Amino acid sequence: MKLVARDVSPDGDFDAAMTLGHAIMENLGHVLLGAQAAISAAAIAALSGGHLLIEDVPGVGKTILAKTMALTLGAELSRVQGHPDLLPSDVTGVSVYVKKGNWEFHQGPVFAHIVLFDELNRTPPRTQSALLETMEEHQVSVDGDSWPLPRPHMVIATQNPRSQRGTFPLVESQLDRFAIATSIGYPDAASEAQMALHEGGEYALALLQPVCNPEDWLRAQQATKEVSVAPAVAEYAVEICRASRIAPGVRLGASPRAVIWLIRSAQARAILASRSYVVPDDVKAVAPGVLAHRILMDEGEESIGQAIRVVHGILEATPTPRP
């Protein structure tokens, strides 16, 4: 298999963003066989400038997805392995005493374009909260000083199913900072047979080439923000989020931040569809991934499936704006 790298033009226009989006999808498709939903979610997160949460069982390709994203985008990748003894300073960095009363800040692994945080929900809440500022404000504050993170900056966090032992549920404020959540799932029989014959996975990853650099990636994100959104489509997104707050069985609905990411994710999906404008179907397509992890059901933390069903019910009940 021969994979050819594509150049992304430096203009930061729609064509460059579309080219990059399609290249991300293509590269991920070579590595993650039979995982189209996760591939789309990763590409949408990259173009929209959001963070990605992946919840799944071990061994389905969560880590290699992050590696493929970093290689494709020509971006620096750092990896943090979650465990109960992980400290906040292990993530953000720490001030070290050098000499003559001087302190020197040593950057943590969060100072990278793409940060893979494996098994985030195996770390205690105090360490999880170290990501709150980095994901929202793209900076780290330690001992009264702030250091900006590289731009673009993307966190790809994985978490084990919350029913597994030794996990700490992510708090609502943490979940709300992830633009989109997805799962990879088990591959179909044909794809799994391909993997057994050394296709996809690490074998395909070794053949990939970068398609851009971080500056091109940042320009593509800016172009994505300029995708046209009609007022009626924006109002449609707002209605969906507001409906989640009063849906039966919902204790906490989608936040105003969720509305913003619903629109941004829809803009990214439009780019992937080679359009410079958002249609209602874009909003519908991204709504479950953008909203379900933000919705807290009365039943408690094990209700992600019910939250997805709530989102689908809202989509069916909310009138779609006419063109």
pLDDT of residue 168: 83
In a domain, 4, yes or no: no
CATH code at position 194 = 3.40.50.300
In a domain, 53, yes or no: yes
Round to whole Å and give the CA distance between 28 and 50: 18
Round to whole Å and give the CA distance between 1 and 203: 10
The tokens describing 7, both together, are 């150049």
The tokens describing 300, both together, are 């408690």
pLDDT of residue 22: 95
- Given a contact cutoff of 8 angstroms between Cβ atoms, the answer to whether 208 and 290 are in contact is no
* Among candidate residues 198, 225, 252, the one where a domain is terminated: 225
Low-confidence ranges of the chain (pLDDT < 50): 1-12, 301
Tell me how many domains the chain contains: 2
pLDDT of residue 163: 59
The tokens describing 170, both together, are 């992510």
pLDDT of residue 196: 82
Residues 126 and 78 in one domain: yes
- pTM metric for this prediction: 0.90
In angstroms, how far is the first alpha carbon of the chain from the final one?
Answer: 43
Looking at the chain, the number of H-run helices and the number of E-run strands are: 14, 11
In a domain, 3, yes or no: no
pLDDT of residue 300: 54
pLDDT of residue 323: 66
Residues 6+ apart with CB under 8 A from 123: 82, 83, 84, 86, 168
pLDDT of residue 116: 94
58 upstream amide cis, omega within 30 of 0: no
